[in-house]
Amino acid sequence: MATLDISFKPERAHLRKPRRGTIAERVVPQSVSGRYRRLKWAALIACLAIYYVVPFIRWTRGPGQPDQAVLFDFERGRLYFFFIEIWPQEVYYLTGLLILATLILIWLNAVAGRVRCGYFCPQTVWTDLFLLVERWVEGDRRERLKKQGAPLTAWRLLEIGVKHAVWIVIAMGTGGAFVLYFADAPTLLVELVTGEASVLSYAWVGILTSTTYTLAGFAREQVCTWMCPWPRLQGAIWDPEALIVNYRDYRGEPRGSVKKAAELRANGEPAGDCVDCLQCVNVCPIGIDIREGPNFACINCGLCVDACDSVMTKLERPRGLIDYEAWTNIERGHRKEPPRRRMIRPKTVGLGLSIIALAGVMGVSLSMRSDAKITVIHDRNPVAVRLSDGRIRNGYTVRLYNKADGERDFRLTVTGLPGASIEVVGDDATVSVAPDATRELRVLVSTSVTDRQAVAFSATDVASGSAVAAQDTFIPVEGGH
């Protein structure tokens, strides 16, 4: 049985050996090339493109409606996502979306561990971008380590200044793009540049700028290891059959140089393929040594796989010493058994069906929802009033929602109470509601019934004949609440 190592300390992996030479416990990863690095670049480009471009995509909704495809409109109290419009009263859709996202994360964990952390997490994406700038200005790992302990020169100060200037520009772009999701993007962008935007907009740009600059520029692996809650949850839901980055120690141990391994093999003694070059540790953005076994801090980015494969290729040894592999197959390797990959198993199938079912329910609910709604709230004080003619009157607050683009007339009626009459205070029983708006009405219902009964309020669209309804209770004077 395998357990995740939860005693991770950055210095254990890269400060214990002086030849790695980091300063102030900072992880200084080395650049690497390979298929997983290319996948990470593709994911970075896709994520940044979506983040920066989406606010400028237009979507026609009709006269008087915003034409921004994705918009959190606090002024109207709406969330627009292309053809979907969510009202504040429909927050359950957002709740469903969060549950769906959680299920997808758990399903991904069952399939490939923290692969989302290694490729699509915002912290990973912006950290990769900041590291790219750092390497472009200061050089790769070896050059950066030398410069960290060297005296400051004019050229070194220029390098530091250029790096931080580019970081700040990227961070400002991140904060600026974020606020564009909450107002018309082209208009707000012009206002931000010309100094005409609101104080609140500049405040949020400042907050996102500072957090991006700090987390991607300085915190980096500390965020993934200590600030993010997902590594702790990983230990609880870790799946030994998930394809996570693992070291095939049954093939790599005992470690030794090429010359030493050749001597051991010549003498008939066991020798592993690992030459202890530390390339897997040097390229790791978290600074861990995957050869020590599964570690909760590993983000499953696969960069150590690329580094190890490149070394194995140069040594003309089989690739895959470090690879995406299930822990159960590592154990099978120790027993000299062939590997088995079970991507389709009860856990992944169950989670997949749950995701499909929840997404289907939400989709059907969205497609079938009405563009009108009615809510009813009974008066609390007084609950009921006896009229001079002996009838009992209850008061209600009725709110009509018109989600359509045009003004609509609704006819209010009540059912369930024999002989009941309805009075809309200050208006007729047929009321108009402006487009994409709500209207609150004071409604009085009078009847001669003497017992507590359910009452249904209906609002019928005069033009289309479609109706929406809501139920409440009619309370007699004697019954109270």
The full set of domain ranges for the chain reads: 372-474
pLDDT for 7 equals 47
Burial class of residue 293 (count of CB atoms within 10 Å of its CB; 0-12, 13-18, 19+): middle
pLDDT score, position 426: 84
Mean pLDDT across 30-43: 95
Model confidence pLDDT, tens digit, residues 85-97: 888 878 888 899 9
Residues 416 and 472: beta-carbon distance below 8 Å: no
DSSP strand E in 16-91: where?
A: 70-73, 78-81, 84-86
Residues composing the chain: 481
Mean pLDDT, residues 390-405? 89
Mean pLDDT of 442-467: 89
Residue 432 contacts residue 473 (beta carbons within 8 Å): no
The predicted model gives 280-292 an average pLDDT of 93
- The C-alpha atoms of residue 460 and residue 475 are separated, in whole angstroms, by 25
- What would the pLDDT profile of 153-187 be if each residue is shown by its tens digit? 999 999 999 999 999 999 999 999 999 999 999 99
Nearest in space to 58 (alpha carbons), one of 79, 80, 35, 34: 80
In this prediction, residues 421-449 reach a mean pLDDT of 88
The whole-angstrom separation of Cα 37 and Cα 30 is 12
55, 88, 229 from 181: Cα distances, Å: 6, 17, 26
Inform me whether the pLDDT recorded for 44 exceeds 60.
yes
pLDDT of residue 478: 64
pLDDT tops 50 at residue 24: no
**What pLDDT is recorded for position 33?**
93
**Among residues 132, 108, 131, which one has the least CA distance to residue 120?**
108
Confidence of residue 297 (pLDDT cuts 50, 70, 90): confident
How does DSSP classify residue 54? Answer: G
CATH class of 372-474: mainly beta
Would the pLDDT of 303 be above 90? yes
User: pLDDT, tens digit, for every residue of 216-237?
Assistant: 999 998 998 888 888 888 777 8
The predicted structure's pLDDT at residue 25: 64
